[in-house]
Amino acid sequence: MTESGCWSVAGVDLHVDLDAAGGRRAALEHGLRDAIRTGRLLSRARLPSTRRLAAELGLSRGTVQAAYDQLTAEGYLTARRGAGTVVAAPLAGTGRAPAPEGRGPAAPAHDLRPGNPDVSTFPVAAWLRAVRRSLGSAAPETYGYGDPRGRIELRTALTEYLGRTRGVVAHPGRIVITSGYVQALALLARLVAERGGRTVAMEDPGLGFHREVVRRRGLEVVPLPVDGRGARCAELGAADAAVVTPAHQYPTGVPLHPARRRELTEWAGARGALVVEDDYDGEFRYDRQPIGALQGTAPAQVAYLGTVSKSLAPALRLAWMVLPEELVDPVVDLKLHADHHTETLGQLALAEMITGHAYDRHIRAARMRYRRRRDQLVARLGAAGRVQGIAAGLHALVMLPEGGPVEADLHARAAAAGLALGWLDDHWQAPHATAPDRRQGLVVGYGTPRERDWPAALDALADLLDGAG
């Protein structure tokens, strides 16, 4: 088997075995047919032109054309003038590998699940301008391996932005860029475990996935109860760290009361414990100026975590930690051995958006849009449910009446209406069966739908609650 007889690089890399019995045309047909059947060539994959493939494989163009014609006749390929030759969609009963999966299960008709912004409003034009400006002047070494702390351009931009908008006491040397909030939380949990810590207090109710991230680093998660004044910090006890959402507790939507903020930082200082501040949607406060970050009052005890997953889009995978001075070096070492560094090009674009104030403009526009949606939600559900929490963020907790219905009564009705929601019962650390008197509620992500889809989604939610009495 010769190397030139097995590979084509005519536009795409294509491996075929031309040494099979029956002649070179038959070998080409067999090789392509086998590649399609086994899924090595997927549906809609474009093949090289007959001229280029013939030149690459040392065949006549007529031989390649005859092979393409035969496979087209058998339904393996399709050819259209001006569009080239591509692998056809699989036919039932052909034994061919299925076409690659698309986006998974069908999307719900009305998506009100929490945790997402309206990604259809991603500022594409502003992002492209930022990419062009940042990469237009980038040095060649920009495209090599980088600093595990992150690009200095972004860390410098965040120092100014976080101090100005969130009251964070920051310095570029104390900021570490991560590939999303989950990586930041995982790194800090691992650090706590490596330093001998055993338990982390996490708000109850809270996000179960985040609890699992901490558990997988070998730590025990203990519940930190939440009431109308936020986390009950008097119950922190002997935990080695605490993870909290002070500005807008998830999912109840309440802020941490000033007295409890002081109690939390005093507890951390006395025990030498770490407070992890999850400021996941701190920019989005609608009834007043956003509450300043807890970190600004105790930078030596608090690790501040922020992200663009709610402000721009989860796909960017960009987040940041502002760390107490003593934690910077050990966290950087963990980051280095986790993934070396977070991707560079997105960091540069985000830094350009922040310094050019395009990021501020996007936040202001998003704040107005989400405030309007929340106001409409409160007005529409005034008789059907009670919206809990402050006017902030991208979600609201809609409490169900104490006399019913309960969440289980609504599951099937919501599914039948094509309505996807968050359920409060999924956020407790202990299953509902162990606390039958626990309040019931819906966690409604009003930030998720596209603007054009929001009115119909709100109608579907109101109909669900009205129909359940």
Sign of CA dihedral 196, 241, 432, 397: negative
Q: What is the pLDDT of residues 32-73, one digit of tens each?
A: 988 888 888 888 888 888 888 888 888 899 999 999 999 898
Which pLDDT score is estimated for 100?
A: 60
Which pLDDT score is estimated for 288?
A: 83
The residue among 254 and 90 whose pLDDT is bigger is: 254
Give 46's strand partners. 86
Q: What is the pLDDT of residues 422-438, one digit of tens each?
A: 999 999 998 655 665 67
Q: Which residue intervals of the chain bear CATH 3.90.1150.10?
A: 110-117+360-467
The third-level CATH classification (topology) of the domain covering 7-87 is Arc Repressor Mutant, subunit A (1.10.10)
Average confidence (pLDDT) over 355-374: 97
Which pLDDT score is estimated for 469?
A: 61
Q: What is the pLDDT of residues 374-423, one digit of tens each?
A: 999 999 987 656 899 999 999 999 999 887 788 988 999 999 999 999 99
Q: Give the whole-angstrom CA distance, residue 387 versus residue 379.
A: 10
The first and second tokens of residue 464, run together, are 């669900």
CB-CB contact of 12 with 50 (8 Å): no
Tally of CB atoms within 10 A around 411: 12
Alpha-carbon separation of residue 152 from 142, 155, 177, 347 (angstroms): 11, 5, 10, 9
Q: Tell me which range, 7-11, 170-174, 288-292, is most confidently predicted by mean pLDDT.
A: 170-174
The first and second tokens of residue 374, run together, are 């929340």
Burial of 429 (0-12, 13-18, 19+ CB in 10 A): middle
Q: What percent of the chain has pLDDT over 70?
A: 90
**Reduced DSSP (H G I as helix, E B as strand, rest coil) percent helix, strand, coil of the chain, to 5:** 45, 15, 40
Residue type, 33: R
**DSSP code string of 129-168:** HHHHHHHHT--GGGGS---TT--HHHHHHHHHHHHHHH--
Assign 2 a pLDDT band (cuts: 50, 70, 90).
very low
Which pLDDT score is estimated for 4?
A: 41
The first and second tokens of residue 392, run together, are 């902030």
The residue among 43 and 442 whose pLDDT is bigger is: 442
Which pLDDT score is estimated for 434?
A: 60
Find the range with the poorest average confidence among 30-44, 194-208, 217-231, 314-328: 30-44
Which pLDDT score is estimated for 1?
A: 38
CB-CB contact of 392 with 284 (8 Å): yes
pLDDT reading at 6 higher than 80: no
**DSSP code string of 262-279:** HHHHHHHHHHT-EEEEE-
Q: What is the pLDDT of residues 254-310, one digit of tens each?
A: 999 999 999 999 999 999 999 999 999 999 999 888 789 999 999 999 999 999 999
The CATH code of the domain at 122-356 is 3.40.640.10
Identify the CA nearest to 324 among candidates 192, 169, 159: 169
Which pLDDT score is estimated for 3?
A: 43
**DSSP code string of 291-321:** PPPGGGG-TTTEEEEEESTTTT-GGG--EEE
Assign 7 a pLDDT band (cuts: 50, 70, 90).
low
Alpha-carbon separation of residue 72 from 66, 76, 238, 295, 422 (angstroms): 10, 6, 71, 65, 48
Distance of CA 89 to the CA centre of its chain: 31
Q: Give the whole-angstrom CA distance, residue 391 versus residue 353.
A: 27
Question: For the whole model, what pTM was predicted?
Answer: 0.85
The first and second tokens of residue 114, run together, are 């929490």
Q: Give the whole-angstrom CA distance, residue 220 versus residue 53.
A: 60
Identify the CA nearest to 164 among candidates 449, 444, 360, 388: 360
Average confidence (pLDDT) over 81-89: 83
Which pLDDT score is estimated for 57?
A: 85
Q: What is the pLDDT of residues 93-112, one digit of tens each?
A: 666 666 565 555 678 899 99
Q: Give the whole-angstrom CA distance, residue 255 versus residue 124.
A: 32
pLDDT reading at 9 higher than 90: no
Q: Which residue intervals of the chain bear CATH 3.40.640.10?
A: 122-356
Average pLDDT of the chain is 90
Site of tokens 């909290």? 244
Which pLDDT score is estimated for 42?
A: 87
Average confidence (pLDDT) over 456-469: 88
The residue among 434 and 138 whose pLDDT is bigger is: 138
Which pLDDT score is estimated for 99?
A: 57
Burial of 113 (0-12, 13-18, 19+ CB in 10 A): middle
Alpha-carbon separation of residue 456 from 47, 110, 394, 449, 451 (angstroms): 44, 7, 18, 10, 10
Q: Which residue intervals of the chain bear CATH 1.10.10.10?
A: 7-87
pLDDT reading at 462 higher than 80: yes
CATH architecture of the domain 110-117+360-467 equals Alpha-Beta Complex (3.90)
Sheet with strand 386-388: strands edge to edge: 386-388, 396-399, 441-444, 422-423
Which pLDDT score is estimated for 325?
A: 97
Q: What is the pLDDT of residues 119-134, one digit of tens each?
A: 999 999 999 999 999 9
